[in-house]
Structure 1
Amino acid sequence: MIERAEYQRFAATLPGATFVEQWGGLIAKVGGKVFAMWGERDGEPGHIVFKVPETSFEILTALDGVDQAPYFAKGKWVVVAPGALPKGDIEHYMAGSHAVVAASLTKKLRRELGLLPPQ
Structure 2
Amino acid sequence: MSIFTRDGFSAFASKYPGTSLVDQWDSCIAKVGDKVFALLTDKECHLAFKVSEETFEILTSLDGVSQAPYFAKRKWVAVEPGTALSEAELSEYLDRSYRAVSAGLTRKLRTELGIA
2:18 is matched with 16
**Deviations 1:21-61 (CA, angstroms, capped at 9, x unpaired):** 00001000001100000014xx43x2100000111111100
1:62 is matched with 61
Post-superposition shift, 1:112?
0.3
1:106 is matched with 106
2:35 is matched with 33
- Tell me the distance in 2 between the aligned counterparts of 1:30 and 1:58: 25
Cα root mean square deviation, aligned: 1.1
Q: How many residues align?
A: 113
- Tell me the distance in 1 between the aligned counterparts of 2:13 and 2:5: 12
Under a length normalisation based on structure 1, what TM-score does the superposition of the two structures give?
Answer: 0.90
Aligned-partner residue type, residue 79 of structure 1: A
Matched, 1:115 2:79: no
Aligned-partner residue type, residue 81 of structure 1: E
Post-superposition shift, 1:3?
1.5
Aligned-partner residue type, residue 35 of structure 1: F
Under a length normalisation based on structure 2, what TM-score does the superposition of the two structures give?
Answer: 0.93
Between Structure 1 and Structure 2, which shows a larger proportion of strand residues?
A: 1
- Tell me the distance in 1 between the aligned counterparts of 2:9 and 2:87: 10
Post-superposition shift, 1:108?
0.2
Alignment gaps of 5+ in structure 2: none
- Tell me the distance in 2 between the aligned counterparts of 1:60 and 1:14: 24
| SS state at 2:92 partner | helix
